[in-house]
Chains A and B, each alone.
Chain A
Amino acid sequence: MKDQEEAIFHAAREQSSPEDRGRYLHEACGDDAPLRERIGALLAADDHPVSYLNGPVVATLDRPDAGDAFAIELGTQIGPYTLREQIGEGGFGVVYVAEQTHPVARKVALKIIKPGMDTKEVIARFEAERQALAMMDHPNIAKVLDAGSTGESGKGDRSNLCAAPSGPSRQIGPVPLFRRGVLISPWNSSAAFPSPSSATMSGSRRVKD
Chain B
Amino acid sequence: MSEVTRILKSLEEGDPQAADDLLPLVYDELRRLAAAKMAREKPGQTLQATALVHEAYVRLVDPQGQRCWNDRRHFFLVAAEAMRRILISNARRKNATKRGGDHKQADIDPDDLAASIPSEQLLALSDSLDELTRRHPDKAQLVKLRYFGGLTVAEAAEALGISSTTAERHWAYARAWLQCQIAE
Binding site for B on A (CB under 8 A): 2, 6, 9-10, 13, 38, 41-43, 45-46, 49-50, 52-67, 69-73, 76, 115-116, 152-153, 155, 157
Across-interface contacts of A45 in B (CB, < 8 A): 175-177, 179-180, 183
Which among B12-20, B21-29, B62-70, B99-107 touches the partner chain?
B99-107
Q: Does the CB pair A41–B43 fall under 8 Å?
A: no
Check B177 against A42 for contact (C-beta < 8 Å): yes
Q: Which of chain B's residues have a CB closer than 8 A to the CB of A152?
A: 104, 108
The answer on a CB contact under 8 Å between A56 and B147 is yes
Q: B32 near A: Cβ within 8 Å?
A: no
Chain A's closest residue to B147 (CB) is: A57
Please tell me if the beta carbons of A72 and B104 are within 8 angstroms of each other in the complex: yes
Which residues of the partner chain B approach A61 to less than 8 Å between Cβ atoms? 34, 37-38, 41-47, 112-113
Q: Decide: B135 and A58 in contact? CB cutoff 8 A.
A: no
Please give the residue numbers on chain B whose beta carbons come within 8 Å of chain A beta carbons, in ascending order: 34, 37-38, 41-50, 52, 83, 87, 90, 100, 102-104, 107-108, 110, 112-117, 121-122, 125, 135-136, 146-150, 169, 172-173, 175-180, 183
Q: Which 3 A-B pairs have the closest CB atoms?
A: A66-B43, A59-B49, A63-B43
Other-chain residue from B52, B83, B110 in contact with A157 (beta carbon distance below 8 A) = B110
Which applies to chain B's interface (DSSP): helix, strand, loop or mixed?
helix
In the bound complex, how far is the Cα of B44 from the Cα of A67, in angstroms?
Answer: 9
Residues in B whose Cβ lies below 8 Å from that of A6: 173
CB–CB B49/A56 < 8 A:
yes
A residues near B43, Cβ cutoff 8 Å = 61-63, 65-67, 116
Closest CB of chain B to A89's CB: distance in Å?
Answer: 14
24 A-B pairs within 8 Å (CB atoms) are namely A2-B135, A42-B173, A43-B176, A45-B180, A46-B176, A49-B176, A53-B125, A55-B146, A56-B149, A56-B150, A57-B148, A58-B46, A58-B116, A59-B52, A60-B44, A61-B37, A62-B90, A62-B112, A63-B38, A63-B44, A67-B44, A73-B103, A73-B104, A116-B43
Given A57-B87, A59-B46, A61-B113, also A73-B173 (CB < 8 A): no
- A59 and B48 contacting across the interface, CB-CB below 8 Å: yes
A73 touches B108 (CB 8 A): no
| B104-A76 in contact (CB<8A) | yes
* A46 vs B148: C-alpha distance when bound (angstroms): 21
Shortest distance in angstroms between A43's beta carbon and chain B's nearest beta carbon?
Answer: 7
The answer for the CA separation of A65 and B44 in the assembled complex, in Å, is 9
CB closest chain-A residue, reference B128: A53
Q: Taking A56-B49, A59-B116 as given, write out 13 further A-B residue pairs in contact, using a Cβ cutoff of 8 Å, ordered by the A residue number.
A: A2-B135, A9-B173, A56-B147, A56-B149, A57-B116, A61-B41, A61-B44, A63-B43, A63-B110, A64-B108, A73-B100, A76-B104, A157-B108
Given contacts A46-B175, A152-B104, contact A60 B180 (CB under 8 A): no
Closest chain A CB from B113 CB (angstroms): 5
Question: In the complex, what's the smallest C-beta–C-beta distance from B169 to chain A, in angstroms?
Answer: 6
A13-B115 contact in complex given A45-B179, A53-B179, C-beta closer than 8 Å:
no
Q: A56-B48, A157-B110 are in contact. Are A9 and B176 (CB under 8 A)?
A: yes
Tell whether, in the assembled complex, residue A57 and residue B172 are in contact, meaning their CB atoms are under 8 Å apart. Answer: no
Identify B49's interface contact among A46, A57, A66, A116, CB under 8 A.
A57
Contact B107 A60 (CB under 8 A): no
B93 to chain A, nearest CB (A): 11
Instruction: Give A153 to B108 CA distance when docked, in angstroms.
Output: 6
User: Which of B42, B107, B122 gathers the greatest number of chain A CB atoms within 10 Å?
Assistant: B107
A93 to B114, CA, bound (A): 24
Residues on A with beta carbons closer than 8 Å to the beta carbon of B50: 56-57
Contact of A59 among B42, B107, B113, B179 (CB under 8 A): B113
